Chains A and B, each alone.
Chain A
Amino acid sequence: MKKIGITTTVPVEVLYAAGYSVVDLNNIFITSKDYLRYIEIAERDGFPKSLCAWIKGIYGACIENGIDEVVGVIEGDCSNTKSLIEVLKSKGVKIYPFSYPAKHTIEEVKKSIDDFIKLFFKDELVDSNIKEKIEDTRQTLSKGRVLARRIDELTCDFKATGLENHIYQISLSDFNGDIEGYTEILKEKVKEIELRKPKTKKIKLAYIGVPPMTPDIYDFIEKYDAQIVYNEVQREFAFPRFDRAKDIYEQYYDYTYPYSLEFRLKEIEKIIKERNIDGVIHYTQAFCYRAIDDIVIKRKLNIPVLNIEGDKLNCLDGRTKIRIEAFLDMLMDLKGD
């Protein structure tokens, strides 16, 4: 199977149907022991210091791992990706652009996905055979999506940890490059988690914003009487509402991450209510435009919101730890004994 890299979640069903093994470059970057070296490679090649570490990490991971085909999301994620793929193109990497439409309508989403399909199936028209093949792939992936959703439910029961919730949902962006293998891993994990006794915590937190550069945040929070029971974007990457969609077009229309903040907040507010969440941690990446979203997020959500920022390091710094600690301390006071 030929490998193809992705810069964020894309209609992965199309890529698997086209015979690729998919690699989310973010995951290679952040799980590597050499993650700082990937950033270093990018900076040596001229990427500015004052730029999102994810973009630099993706670049380093792509170059170092010899990924020669990449899907770059040029609309609906961030404008840095546009320039990133220009640089990758100049290095000889074959680029397939994908855009989440600016206008959030089912027609526009269909058009974007059809354009994407044509890149891989070389046909003028997306005929019923191709559609069927993609739908079959969607059904194959659904087994993993059901299991990831189960892990999300088990997190609300305090059986799965915040970190497990993060990892097993975020990994559905590429199914670890092996649909069957990863579905098996999920199956085993669900079995193991279901048998656990719940470790109930007093404070339930939501984590919103892009996935963290600092995965130690989950364990750090659980040292207190608190747990993250909802990971916004990771959960979106896992498409928990996939079975409400009749086809791939509806599934990606009902995906919140690339569209407006207003649309994202509807789902966030719904989950906050459903899961009785006490406080929100809004993570933003240094130099990312999404930090501006914090203004609206704090205004719209009626529970306390703590905005934390990550940059290059893959673990929480002392100041952020103190801030989280103080935030939790006062949430406990609000909650009472």
Chain B
Amino acid sequence: MRIVGIDLGSRFVKTLVMEDYKIVERICISTVSFYKEYCSFNGRLKVDFKKLGIDSFDFGVSTGYGRNNVDIENFNIINELKAHAYGAMYQTGLKDFILLDVGGQDVKIIKVEKGVLTDIELNDKCAASCGRYIENMAKILETSIDEIFSYYKNPVELNSTCAVFSESELIGKIAEGVPFENLCAGVNYSLYKRLKPLLTRFKGKSLLISGGVAENKALLEYLKSDYDEINVLNDSKFNGAIGCCYFGILKYKK
């Protein structure tokens, strides 16, 4: 039994193949490239799986947060919150957890109890607490995202709510001669400050992290002050796609 799970994110499309409950294939393609080079559209999205390197499969499940077209031909659509809940269940074996997923434009916090979703929080109106913000700030600092992720000590204060104003604020700090490390830490800390209010209703001992921003070591350091344990999922970027496959397995079995 081969199951394909596709998570159509705002920055990347993650495709995953599971065979007999094991992950056998992971493909991550930028969202724009995926639509332009691997898809055709005739009322529904038709994916060229051969081109993707996937031969045959028994069942397909896709997700995407409604802001993106997720209507792939012959695929079952599930909502993204559920996909992430199943992904974390598959990866950890836990039935009770809080998961923070920070993607390119979306922040999702979900609470699962006894294997059922019981609470959620999503960013709305603004995505300055997501990956795209870090990307923009990396451009200003003329460095890589990974470089920014590695600094967390002595963050410079960046107070703007708006991601665009934050850029001018950062330029102002560069002009003041603030060291590069503190600038990077400041970017990470400002992201954390935007995430913190979303987490207020999700107090607990431990927190699971997924999404591209899970690679942000600095953010994890800041979160350690709010939780006893921070656990980054192994396949953090692919969690949504894993959830699709896991849901597919459950569905296909029946």
Contacts and interface: CB of A to CB of B under 8 A. Distances in A.
Contacts, number: 45
B115 A304 contact: yes
B120 A336 contact: no
Interface in B236-251: 247, 250-251
B114 interface: yes
B254 A334 contact: no
A330 B113 contact: no
A304 B118 contact: yes
B117 interface: yes
B143 interface: no
A306 B118 contact: yes
Nearest to B118: A306
A319 B109 CA distance: 13
A218 B62 CA distance: 31
Interface in B202-220: none
Interface in B104-148: 113-120
A330 B115 contact: yes
Contact of A327 (B118, B250, B251): B118
A99 interface: no
Q: Is the interface of B mostly helix, strand, loop or mixed?
A: mixed
A319 B110 CA distance: 13
A334 B85 CA distance: 13
> A interface, how many residues as a size bin?
10 to 19
A333 interface: yes
A330 B88 CA distance: 14
A298 B113 contact: yes
B161 interface: no
Contact of B113 (A305, A322, A333): A305
A296 to B, nearest CB: 14
Contacts of B114: 303-305
Q: How large is the interface on B (under 10, 10 to 19, 20 to 34, 35 or more residues)?
A: 10 to 19
Interface in A284-314: 298, 303-307
A262 to B, nearest CB: 21
A209 B67 CA distance: 36
A259 to B, nearest CB: 27
B82 interface: yes
B61 to A, nearest CB: 12
Which of B118, B119, B120 is packed against the most chain A CB atoms within 10 Å? B118
A304 B116 contact: yes
Contacts of B119: 323
A331 interface: yes
Given A304-B113, A304-B114, A304-B115, A330 B82 contact: yes
Nearest to A336: B254
A329 B250 CA distance: 14
A78 interface: no
Contact of B81 (A304, A305, A326): A326
B120 A326 contact: yes
A279 B116 contact: yes
Residue of A298, A323, A333 ringed by the most chain B CB atoms within 10 A: A333
B247 A305 contact: no
A274 interface: no
A330 B85 contact: yes
Contacts of A337: 254
B79 interface: yes
A334 B115 contact: yes
Contacts of B115: 304, 330, 334
A336 B81 CA distance: 19
Nearest to B95: A304
Contacts of B79: 326, 329
Interface of A: 279, 298, 303-307, 319, 322-323, 326-327, 329-331, 333-334, 336-337
13 contacts: A298-B113, A304-B113, A305-B113, A306-B118, A326-B79, A326-B120, A327-B117, A329-B82, A329-B117, A330-B85, A333-B247, A333-B250, A334-B115
